[in-house]
Amino acid sequence: MSHNIYFDNNATTPLDSRVFEAMKPYFDICYGNPASQLHQKGWEAKEAVEMARKKVAQLIHAKPEEITFTAGSTESNNWALKGLIESLKEKNPLEPLHILTSNIEHASVKEPLLYMKKKGLIDIDFLPVDSQGFLSLETLKKNCRSSTKVISLIWVHNEIGTIQNLKEIAAWAQENHIYLHTDATQAVGKIEVNMDENPISLLSFSGHKLYGPKGIGALYTRSLNPKITLHPLLHGGGQEISGRSGTLNVPSIVGLGKACEIAQLEMKNDWIKTSQLMTDLWNNLKSEFPQIKLNGPKVGTRTVYNLNLTLPGIQGSDILPHLQNLCVSGGSACSSGNLQGNPVLLAIGHNPNDTSVSLRISSGRMTTNEDFQKAFNEISKALKSLRFNEKEEVHRVL
């Protein structure tokens, strides 16, 4: 069994043991199909699914009927965008349809939009963000057209930790009769997400980012002011209000519900604890290695679960062999570097020729004080062995 120090929670969180316990009976005892409503096993499964739906809805202050279960954020993002655009096109086939999004969206938003553009269904503008990853309302207003019907914007950025001012953007979108979809994968269960206070049309998230199982997620679809209608994702038996046919994954749905229930009770304390630990980690690293650069907003104005650090003059092939005990993710702005080029770093102003590695350190509920101390020690040891403090701050640009 691996004893690595885990700091890659933005990729996936460990399964909470309480979630695992809640899921167990639905593998070997309550194994019925919720679509089988003529016997006890089916009733048990159906009841479990609907209870989980209520728990998910409660976490984001939504109605249970506004929650549809999916395989995760990628599916939810695809369905939200394709389903809405197909629905709008069915109503007005000849009306031009313009979409606004940012240039730092996840691939599961960007790729479906590019696919629909290639099909001639939509026109898109990928709008620039500032050096901290924020998309301003002024930029949205400047690029809005009479044909703009949909905005898709990530709420909390998975790489650079930016928390968009979605409440202000949602209010403006509603005033202008524009549908707003958000990829809330790093928001739900970590910050306050309230559909009563934010007129968001569609919201996507995954279970495995909030200590639930992999392969399960949800799509929130607003039912009033306005009511959102999506073209079905899957046709067949009519499950999930005929939107996503197929036998429901009951154990994982139960797990997602339990994860949401726990998050509702504990996410504020999780945030406070992690905020202090992550701030201390950043302050200690910056104190020992002043040339380290923080990507995204400054500490205190970003998600507390994420630090994205650029190490000037250090390439991935240099440092990764020294961090074998530390689970982090990384990349560089330059596609010719040793790790895959990162378009998000380019979007916030990094030099496209810079091969310096950037490390994403993402913590979570299970990350301990000892883990933070070990992570600092591992990074410090690695940088000292590479004589990082002796390198010029203005490093070689290829």
What letter would DSSP give residue 337? S
**Average pLDDT of the chain to the nearest whole number:** 93
> Where among 261, 291, 315 does a domain terminate?
261
Whether residues 351 and 369 fall in one domain: yes
Residue 379 confidence (pLDDT) above 50? yes
Angle (nearest 5°) at CA 355 between 350 and 361: 75
Give burial (CB, 10 Å; 0-12/13-18/19+) of 369.
exposed
Task: Tell me what pLDDT residue 391 has.
Answer: 59
| pLDDT top residue among 356 and 81 | 81
Contact in structure between 5 and 370 (CB atoms under 8 Å): no
Whether residues 144 and 257 fall in one domain: yes
Where do we find the tokens 């939504």?
62
Whether residues 241 and 278 fall in one domain: no
Least confident piece of the model among 143-157, 328-342, 383-397 = 328-342
| pLDDT top residue among 396 and 227 | 227
Domain extent at residue 354: 5-10+267-387
The number of residues in the chain equals 398
Task: Tell me what pLDDT residue 106 has.
Answer: 96
Whether residues 58 and 205 fall in one domain: yes
Residue 240 confidence (pLDDT) above 90? no
Task: Tell me what pLDDT residue 245 has.
Answer: 86
pLDDT cut 90: percent of the chain above it: 85
Task: Tell me what pLDDT residue 238 has.
Answer: 87
Domain count, the chain: 2
Whether residues 256 and 271 fall in one domain: no
Task: Tell me what pLDDT residue 342 has.
Answer: 87
pLDDT tens sequence across 293-320:
999 999 999 999 999 999 999 988 899 8
Residue 28 confidence (pLDDT) above 50? yes
Query: Helix and strand tally (H, E) in the chain?
Result: 11, 13
Q: Is 395 among the domain residues?
A: no
CA pair distance 269, 31, nearest whole angstrom: 35
Whether residues 102 and 244 fall in one domain: yes
Residue 375 confidence (pLDDT) above 90? yes
pLDDT tens sequence across 313-331:
998 889 989 999 999 998 6
For residues 164-179, average pLDDT: 97
Q: Is 189 among the domain residues?
A: yes
pLDDT cut 70: percent of the chain above it: 94
pLDDT tens sequence across 45-57:
999 999 999 999 9
> Where among 228, 261, 294 does a domain terminate?
261
Whether residues 254 and 282 fall in one domain: no
- Read off the CATH number of the domain in which 73 is found: 3.40.640.10
pLDDT tens sequence across 61-115:
999 999 999 999 999 999 999 999 999 999 999 999 999 999 999 999 999 999 9
Nearest to 63 by CA among 76, 75, 77, 50: 50
Task: Tell me what pLDDT residue 131 has.
Answer: 97
Task: Tell me what pLDDT residue 332 has.
Answer: 52
For residues 328-338, average pLDDT: 60
Model confidence band, residue 2 (pLDDT cutoffs 50, 70, 90):
low
Whether residues 242 and 275 fall in one domain: no
For residues 356-380, average pLDDT: 96
CA pair distance 310, 359, nearest whole angstrom: 6
Task: Tell me what pLDDT residue 392 has.
Answer: 47
Residue 284 confidence (pLDDT) above 80? yes
Q: Is 124 among the domain residues?
A: yes
Q: Is 254 among the domain residues?
A: yes
Whether residues 295 and 223 fall in one domain: no
Nearest to 54 by CA among 264, 319, 236, 231: 264
> Where among 230, 261, 292 does a domain terminate?
261
- Read off the CATH number of the domain in which 345 is found: 3.90.1150.10
Whether residues 241 and 375 fall in one domain: no
pLDDT tens sequence across 209-237:
999 999 999 999 999 999 999 999 899 98
The pair of structure tokens assigned to 349 is: 């102003």
Q: Is 253 among the domain residues?
A: yes
The pair of structure tokens assigned to 130 is: 């500032």
Q: Is 397 among the domain residues?
A: no
Whether residues 131 and 257 fall in one domain: yes
Q: Is 25 among the domain residues?
A: yes
Q: Is 394 among the domain residues?
A: no
Helix residue ranges, H only, the chain: 17-23, 25-28, 40-59, 73-91, 107-118, 137-143, 166-175, 250-288, 316-319, 343-347, 369-385
Residue 364 confidence (pLDDT) above 90? yes
Whether residues 240 and 327 fall in one domain: no
Residue 249 confidence (pLDDT) above 70? yes
Least confident piece of the model among 122-136, 237-251, 367-381 = 237-251
Model confidence band, residue 333 (pLDDT cutoffs 50, 70, 90):
low
Peptide bond into 226 cis (omega under 30): yes
Q: Which residues are catalytic?
A: 334
